[in-house]
Structure 1
Amino acid sequence: MRGSFDVNSCRLVAAALKAVSTAIPAFAVCEVMSRSFYALGKNSVPATAALSGIVSDFLLSYLFVSILKLGPSSAAAAMSCGLWVSALVMLCCAGSIKGFFKTRDALWTAKAAVSAVLSYAVMNLTVVLIGADAFTCGFWKNAGVCAAVFIPGAAVYAVSLIIIREPYSQAFLNSKSGRKKA
């Protein structure tokens, strides 16, 4: 029905998007790792990981929506969990392949993950401090709230990557300053 998308509908969509957004890192892991496994000729690993994710998504969706009656946004949370299961299966399989991971790469990846968690915490804290209900504020105020949340989170993430000396951020800084890597 035209015009029936109200504030509660916006909140429901926002809750679903928030649940889905938690799986963005898992999706990235699945994308990169599946290509790596295909390149190595280990085609069964991505298929097994995908099947594991689908089964866990189905079971959790059934549990959340049908049994616990948590509402539609819980289906999005179940889908996120399914993606994380797929990513974990791929990471475990990759860990079992000799030479797939180097200790140095695993260390800076863990540090980058900590940076991402720190950025997420800063963005959530900013939302709490602002205290604005962005869904009823109008377009420009909503855009301002989004910027006020994103900018500190992005700054914390960028600075923390520089502090931990993450290789790609260091290469970017060196290229902008004209310095060559020694």
Structure 2
Amino acid sequence: MTEFTKDLETLKPLLLKLLNEQIPGAIKEMAEQILNRITAQQILSQENGPIQNLLLTLPLNLGSTQTDLTLQWSGRKTKDGKIDPNYCRVLFYLELERLKEMVIDMQVQNRIIKVTVINGYGAVLEEAADQYLDLLRENLEKMDYKLSGVSFVNPVNGKKRDKGLKSVPFSETGPYSGVDIRI
């Protein structure tokens, strides 16, 4: 991730230099879009006290469809400044042509993993994934992780169930405050 951050730091000045030159409108617009993406990733990937957040958005071509793949890692920092693989959360967001919005929420607590797949076709995905869950469980155990479960949630049903709960977007959570207590 350090190398990726360094690449962004060298790419951004080059894009700014390119924008100051006389270039065709299409190239200028594309350079501005790339510059805006880099700036957004730098703002959203932040250290917040003992919690570290990393956000990565990549353009992705799937056949004839162009979409973005977004990954967000959140977790406490280890002594060497990396995200602790024993206690973290990974969110994966992708817009697909037929399945539409797909969100995968992976929570890791003490090397025990819970996966939640949020999609409008949850029942279909659950049936299709059922044959692969044992393989997933075995491969995670090889890496010294334990799979506690995989659940499939339809976002429409989830909204009805969680009427009183309001989700706060990642960018609006504010600075970290509080006390971590280990018992």
TM-score bucket of the superposed structures, by smaller chain: under 0.3
Name whichever structure is richer in helix by fraction: 1
Please report the TM-score for the alignment, with normalisation by the length of structure 2: 0.27
Please report the TM-score for the alignment, with normalisation by the length of structure 1: 0.27
**Higher relative contact order by CA 8 Å / sep ≥ 6: 1 or 2?**
1
Name whichever structure is richer in strand by fraction: 2
